[in-house]
Each structure stands twice: as structure tokens, then as C-alpha cells.
Amino acid sequence: MTLFAERSSPGLKCLPALLLVVIAVGCGGEFPQSTLHPTADFGYEVDSLFRIIFWWAVVVFVVVEGGLIYIIFRFRERPGSPEPRRIHGSTLLEVAWTLAPALVLVFIAVPTIRTIINVSGRAPDDALVIDVIGHQWWWEYRYLDFNITTANEVHVPQGRTVQFRMTSVDVIHSFWVPKMGGKRDVLPGRTTYIAFKPDSIGTFYGQCAEFCGVSHANMRLRLMVDSPSEFEDWIRQEQNPPPPKESLDTEAQRGFEVFTAVRDPGNHSCLACHVIEGVTFGVLGPNLTHVGGRTTIAGGILPMTADGLAEWLRDPSRVKPGSLMPDIDLTEEEVSALVAYLSTLR
Ligand code: CUA
């Protein structure tokens, strides 16, 4: 001990305290993306499998380490003890330590396979089907039953199974809302499925979980679990057409004009990429018909506020490196007008 203290640097002496702090940090906080507090059937399945395997690991640890410690003490050398007898092989032991792990593996394999089947993405016929399309770097959601298209924030009702049918228009992404359950790859040219039944109302954070380019970390999502009546209200709200230009105030009318203007050649225009139902028909970027009713923009990285919108419009690639939305050299006057107009799209 003295040796250690004399030789070690002060940094090394702090190491145990530092480790303790790092471990303790893991004990607090809200953990919005923790998989350890699931709130949907998929998550419960995975959690229960995790617990089964954990307790088997505890049994193996206790038996192996307990046996080791017992043997070390029981058969240690004592003063005057005779030379141990030489032995070789024990059929009973060999059979026991081959059979026991094999049995443990069976007890782990059966629930594992059952869980894999249960979370494969199949959903009952009455499930709510939502098409998910992965883009670099945002999520598109289509509710075909209701003729609604939205982005990044997906609303679902509490207590009803949701079937996500997923594909990608560019590279491989992965859809993941940790509190609902596991992740699933979203692949170009293929359809993959994930299904779960959320049981708690609230906003749940998610994230693309497959490296998909420079802004992979900025490809976030929110899952809003609404009560069934709130969900119906949201559907009705989303089905409303945007306000007509004549009903807007002067600033918002100016924003409408900026949004629908065809800008100089070589410059990009908003209308080339974005849909606002009945106003513009671009398809490359997110549908903005109800952008003002979302809580976030830009793949869930900026709050949907006047400041957030303005920051995004001024220079998208500074907020989200590699963003396909170009900087179209808007003047500050145009930015304010667009903010006023987009905020009316609720
Ligand atoms: Cu999309 Cu990572």
C-alpha cells in the first residue's frame, strides 16, 4: 500500500474517486432515451428477456466464483500437509460441467427465440398503419388512412398497436424509440416492419440508430403518444387546409409570397422542395402544411419557435451539416416574413 502511494502520481491516486463519480453520474437524471424503462409491449418483451439472462448470469457467477473460492481455501497448502495425491479425470465432473452450461443455454435460447418472434414487426389487422420514409436527415410519416403526411414528429394513440412500414429513399437508416423497444433498419428498396403498443401518454425521444452520413446524429425524432381523443383531435387538425392568403396578416402574406416565389435562376426556391397542401407541390423536403403545429423542426434539433425557424432559414447547413436544404441567401426581411407565414401553418 505504502509502495503504491509513494510511487503513484497524484493523478493515479484520484483515479478511484474519479471512477466513483463517473459511476454515480449514471444513477441520476431523466434518461429520455433509456431502454431500461419501457412503455410499450415490444419494450416489455425485451426487458423481460434481459432480466432472464441477467439472473442466469448471476447464478453462473455465484456457482463458479463460489466454487473457486471454496476450493482455494479448502485445498490450500498448510504447514506440514502431505504432497497431494495425483489424480486425472473424473467422469462425473466432466459430464456435469458439459451438461450444466448446455442446460443454461437452452433456458436462455427458448425465451430468446420466443422474443424474436414476438417482436418481429407483425401486428394485428386493426393496427394503425403508418408509412415511415427515411431521408438524409429527417423522417417522413404518411398516414394513408387519413391522407396525412408529416415529418419528424409522429403522433400515435395510447393503447392501440401501431404498425410502422418503413423504407428509405437514400441510404440505410434505423428507426429507434428506445422506450418503445428495439431498433429496426430502414433500407432503400426494401420494406421493413416494426410494431408496438404504447401504454403511456407522453412525448418519447428517438433517434436514427444507423450511421447514415455527416448529420446522422441530427436525425432525431419524437413519438407523441396521445390519448385516443387527443389523437382524433390531432388528425382533424392535420386534415385542415392551410389558412388562405387573404386571412393572413401583412407580414405573413409577405412570407407567403417569398415562399411561393420562383427565385432567380441558379437560386433555389422554397416551393421547389416543399409541399403546403393546395399551395406548393415540391416533394424533396418535409411536408410543411402543419409545420407550425410541431414542437421541433430540422429533424428534431431546433425548437419550433420564431428564433428556431429564423436560425434554420438563415443557414441550414450550419445547423445541420450536409443538409440538402440549401442556403438561398434570404434577406433578414425575407426571413422574418417566412417565419411569420410558417408559424401560421398549424
Ligand atoms: Cu439516418 Cu443515421
Yes or no: say if 165 and 132 are a contact pair by the CB < 8 Å rule: yes
Question: What is the 114 CA–ligand 1 centroid distance (Å)?
Answer: 29
Give yes or no: residues 186 and 274 share one domain. no
- From 182, 212, 239, give the residue that closes a domain: 239
The structural domain count of the chain equals: 2
Give yes or no: residues 214 and 251 share one domain. no
Buried b (16+ CB within 10 A) or exposed e, 267-299: eebbbebbbbbebbeeeebbbbbbbbebebbbb
Atom of ligand 1 minimally distant from the CA of 209:
2
Give yes or no: residues 257 and 234 share one domain. no
Q: Is residue 79 part of a domain?
A: no
Q: Is residue 176 part of a domain?
A: yes
Q: Is residue 171 part of a domain?
A: yes
- From 190, 214, 239, give the residue that closes a domain: 239
pLDDT of 3 reads 47
Edge-first strand order for the sheet with 138-143 is 148-151, 138-143, 128-135, 162-168, 192-196
DSSP track, 71-103: HHHHT---TTPPPPPP----HHHHHHHHHHHHH
Give yes or no: residues 170 and 219 share one domain. yes
Q: Is residue 102 part of a domain?
A: no
Give yes or no: residues 233 and 253 share one domain. no
Give yes or no: residues 206 and 270 share one domain. no
Dihedral sign of CA atoms 190, 196, 202, 204 in order: negative
- What band does 1 get if pLDDT is binned at 50, 70 and 90? very low
Q: Is residue 186 part of a domain?
A: yes
What is the number of residues in the chain? Answer: 346
Per-residue pLDDT of 230-254, as tens digits, reads 999 999 999 998 888 888 899 999 9
Query: Which of 178-192, 226-240, 250-264 is predicted least confidently?
Result: 250-264
Give yes or no: residues 221 and 257 share one domain. no
* CA distance linking residue 327 with residue 316, whole number of Å: 6
Residue 123's SS3 state is coil
Give yes or no: residues 193 and 284 share one domain. no
- From 193, 219, 239, give the residue that closes a domain: 239
More confident: 185 or 300 = 185
Dihedral sign of CA atoms 339, 343, 344, 346 in order: positive
Q: Is residue 119 part of a domain?
A: no
Residue 316's domain spans which residues?
Answer: 245-342
Per-residue pLDDT of 39-68, as tens digits, reads 999 999 999 999 999 999 999 999 999 999
Q: Is residue 39 part of a domain?
A: no
Yes or no: say if 177 and 205 are a contact pair by the CB < 8 Å rule: yes
- Residue whose Cα lies nearest atom 1 of ligand 1: it is 173
- What band does 266 get if pLDDT is binned at 50, 70 and 90? low
Give yes or no: residues 208 and 229 share one domain. yes
For residue 150, pLDDT beyond 70: yes
Give yes or no: residues 232 and 270 share one domain. no
Q: Is residue 122 part of a domain?
A: no
Yes or no: say if 172 and 185 are a contact pair by the CB < 8 Å rule: yes
Quick one: average pLDDT of 213-235?
A: 96
Atom of ligand 1 minimally distant from the CA of 217:
2
For the entire predicted model, the pTM comes to 0.84
Give yes or no: residues 290 and 334 share one domain. yes
End-to-end CA gap in the chain: 68
Cβ atoms within 10 A of the Cβ of 110, count? 11
The CATH number for 224's domain is 2.60.40.420
Give yes or no: residues 132 and 235 share one domain. yes
Question: What is the 9 CA–ligand 1 centroid distance (Å)?
Answer: 43
Question: What is the 10 CA–ligand 1 centroid distance (Å)?
Answer: 43
